[in-house]
Structures are given as C-alpha cells and as structure tokens.
C-alpha cells in the first residue's frame, strides 16, 4: 500500500486495503480486518467513491 500512498493513488490504496481486510477476515483475524476496512472506508469516503458502501457492509457484518 505504501507505493500507492507515496504516488498519491488513493483509489488503489483503498482497494488494496479492502482486499487486505478480506484476506484477514478469511484468516479469522477480525481485528486486523476491521482496521484495514476502516482505513479503506476513510479513503473511499474522502473520494466520495461508491466502494464506501461495500466496505461499510463488510464492517457491519463484523458488528452484527
């Protein structure tokens, strides 16, 4: 993710964080999944990108 952050590519940074969260979730590491998804959500929110809704749903699934 550092390469995307360093180059200012916020969409790909958020996309990578979402996928990282998915992998952590699949591995059963829920705290790390939550952290990655929250970081992705913050970026998607800043970008007003519709991907934010998907990430919100993933987070809601952890809490519900």
Per-residue pLDDT of 25-47, as tens digits, reads: 999 999 999 999 999 999 999 99
Position 3 pLDDT exceeds 90: no
Report the distance separating Cα 62 and Cα 47, nearest Å.
24
Report the distance separating Cα 10 and Cα 61, nearest Å.
25
Q: What is the pLDDT of residue 59?
A: 97
Using 50, 70 and 90 to split pLDDT, how confident is the model at 16? very high
- Angle, CA of 53, 23 and 5, to the nearest 5°: 70
Q: What is the pLDDT of residue 9?
A: 82
pTM of full prediction above 0.85: yes
Position 64 pLDDT exceeds 70: no
Question: Could you tell me if 58 and 34 are in contact, meaning their C-beta atoms sit under 8 angstroms apart?
Answer: no
């Amino acid at each position: 993710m550092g390469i995307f952050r360093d180059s200012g590519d916020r969409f790909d940074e958020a996309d990578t964080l979402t996928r990282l969260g998915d992998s952590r979730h699949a591995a059963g590491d829920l705290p790390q999944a939550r952290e990655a998804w929250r970081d992705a959500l913050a970026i998607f929110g800043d970008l007003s990108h519709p991907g934010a809704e998907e990430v919100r749903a993933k987070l809601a699934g952890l809490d519900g």
